[in-house]
């Protein structure tokens, strides 16, 4: 399995048979190395309904006819736009052909503005535990530090975790270091930083403070193999 980072919170997972995109904010993301018109995933996973996470979901899904897995309210809205969706909610898990998806808590918001300027409520935000080929990836989405991260670490053998460090809208580097300690992931990658001036952070500095050998500050387009 190859897992790559593409700026902000965009993550691509390549398993032996499937391509999974998480939070495909590509257009308007100055750090992203992907071309939205060239992406043909089998599935899109969404953590919540903010524009910098839903991103190009509608255009990509319509072109590729891929499945979109999202929190219930967001999935219902996207289905009304003609997308093929699977609604889920916090604490729920489902075994798909491409892997197992479980939604965790995330303390944040979830509303975006569509192309018509309408405000769309996306339901509760979440994190995602994705398991395939014997490996588990945790994408925390946008979240504050919360104590149940300890429980997530205790209940799951996490191989790779993506944690926001941008501060202001999510936890900052100091809180993310605590989160990294609690979830006990073998590798931790910082996300949701440097896309905008308000969330500028030192990703390398954060990675160096994670336990030796566990922190990796991936540049957009770089990947790790699990």
Q: What is the pLDDT of residue 115?
A: 83
Q: Which of 51, 93, 91 is nearest to 69 (CA)?
A: 93
Domains of the chain: which residue ranges?
A: 2-217
Strands in 30-181 per DSSP E: 43-45, 67-71, 84-88, 93-96, 99-105, 111-113, 119-121, 126-132, 135-139, 160-164
Q: Regarding beta strands 11-14 and 19-22, do their DSSP bridges make them parallel or antiparallel, or are they unpaired?
A: antiparallel
Q: What is the pLDDT of residue 109?
A: 95
* CB-based contacts of 193-196 (< 8 A; 24+ apart in sequence): 193/164, 193/165, 193/166, 194/31, 194/166, 195/7, 195/8, 195/29, 195/30, 195/31, 195/52, 195/166
**Length of the chain in terms of residues written:** 226
Q: What is the pLDDT of residue 18?
A: 98
Q: Helices (DSSP H) in the chain: which residue ranges?
A: 51-54, 57-64, 72-80, 149-155, 173-183, 203-209
Query: Which residue numbers in the chain have pLDDT < 50?
Result: none
How many angstroms separate the first and last alpha carbons of the chain?
5
77: number of Cβ within 10 Å = 20
Tell me which fold the domain 2-217 belongs to.
Metallo-beta-lactamase; Chain A (3.60.15)
Q: What is the pLDDT of residue 144?
A: 98
Q: CB-hemisphere CA count at 13 Å for 15?
A: 20
pLDDT tens digits along 135-180: 999 999 999 999 999 999 999 999 999 999 999 999 999 999 999 9
Global pTM reads 0.97
Return the structure tokens found at 16. 């032996």
Q: What is the pLDDT of residue 212?
A: 82
pLDDT, mean over the chain: 97
Q: Which of 198, 156, 163, 199 is nearest to 179 (CA)?
A: 163
Q: What is the pLDDT of residue 213?
A: 82
């Amino acid at each position: 399995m190859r897992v790559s980072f593409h700026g902000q919170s965009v993550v691509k997972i390549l398993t032996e048979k499937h391509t999974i995109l998480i939070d495909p904010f590509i257009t308007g993301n100055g750090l992203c190395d992907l071309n939205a018109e060239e992406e043909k995933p089998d599935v899109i996973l969404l953590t919540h309904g903010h524009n910098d996470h839903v991103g190009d979901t509608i255009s990509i899904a319509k072109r590729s006819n891929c499945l979109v897995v999202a929190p219930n309210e967001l999935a219902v809205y996207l289905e009304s736009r003609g997308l093929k969706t699977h609604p889920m909610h916090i604490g729920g898990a489902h075994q798909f052909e491409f892997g197992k998806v479980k939604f965790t808590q995330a303390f944040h918001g979830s509303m975006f503005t569509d192309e018509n300027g309408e405000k769309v409520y996306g339901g509760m935000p979440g994190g995602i535990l994705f398991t395939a080929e014997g490996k588990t990836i945790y994408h925390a989405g946008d979240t504050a530090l919360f104590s149940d991260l300890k429980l997530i670490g205790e209940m799951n053998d996490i191989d790779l975790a993506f944690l926001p460090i941008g501060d202001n809208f999510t936890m900052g580097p100091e809180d993310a270091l605590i989160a990294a300690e609690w979830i006990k992931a073998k590798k931790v990658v910082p996300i949701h930083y440097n896309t905008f001036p308000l969330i500028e952070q030192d990703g390398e500095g954060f990675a160096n403070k994670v336990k030796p050998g566990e922190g990796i500050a991936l540049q957009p387009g770089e990947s790790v193999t699990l």
